A and B are shown apart, each in its own frame.
Chain A
Amino acid sequence: PPPQTFSPRPAPQIDYNSITGVEDQNIILFAQLVQNLKTAPVEKKLNITNDQALKHLFVSINQIKPKIEFQLKKEVANLEKYQDLYSKTFAVTKIYDEILQLRLAQSQQTYRQYPQ
């Protein structure tokens, strides 16, 4: 039997700009914490500058922001690409109808020129 050859498998594509589940959870957690602080008693509100957990979350949120912008741009571009393709399916039908109309007009003209 021929010697077995092993070709390297392509590495799975990792999208480093995709938003992970943890990042998604961090966004929700940060939103909830700041929303809770808004209605919290004054002494708790004043302690915000010492809240290290919230500070860490804020840093993480700032790192996620460019990812969201990137993903949004990417998905809007995809949406526009498929919208363009969708409208082209209607252009196909329209142009085919126009071709048939042209053929019909040409046949009628030929018939008028050379009847029977």
Chain B
Amino acid sequence: TERELAELVTLLDNSFNVEVLLSKLIDLKTRVASQPISSQEFESILIRDQIPGKLDQLSQTRETLRQILDLYKLKVLELQSMQKNVDASVELYHQLLREAKNSQPLPSP
């Protein structure tokens, strides 16, 4: 699981940056909304920021992210189960210690 996760994260890191693409699109939307721009200018912005290519890769990136999320969810579940197991065992150990101490015969006077 660790190796699989590391491979997926590397795959994601080698892909385009989703946050940068989102930021560029937000800027482009603000620009388009504030003043009409020519088709030529619009196309040149799309090409300059390699937006069509990145949009083509988006479904693959989403799939990689989905697999990463599944693995992290599994890791979190495993750790939560481990934590529960530890807490329950420690609690039981304390309970057994208390019972043992309470059952000890009182020292004779």
Q: Which residues of A contact B (CB under 8 A)?
A: 19, 24, 27-28, 30-31, 34-35, 37-38, 42, 45-49, 54, 58, 61-62, 64-65, 68-69, 71-72, 75-76, 78-79, 82-83, 85-86, 88-89, 91-93, 95-96, 98-99, 102-103, 106, 110
* Chain B interface, >50% SS class: helix
Residue pairs across A and B with CB atoms within 8 Å: the count is 117
Determine the distance from Cα of A3 to Cα of B95 in the docked complex, in whole angstroms: 70
Report if B47 contacts A (CB, 8 A). no
- Residues of B within 8 A of A (CB-CB), count: 43
Partner of A75, one of B66, B79, B99, B100: B79
Q: Report if A75-B65 is in contact (Cβ < 8 Å); known contacts: A58-B90, A61-B89, A99-B32.
A: no
Determine the distance from Cα of A103 to Cα of B42 in the docked complex, in whole angstroms: 9
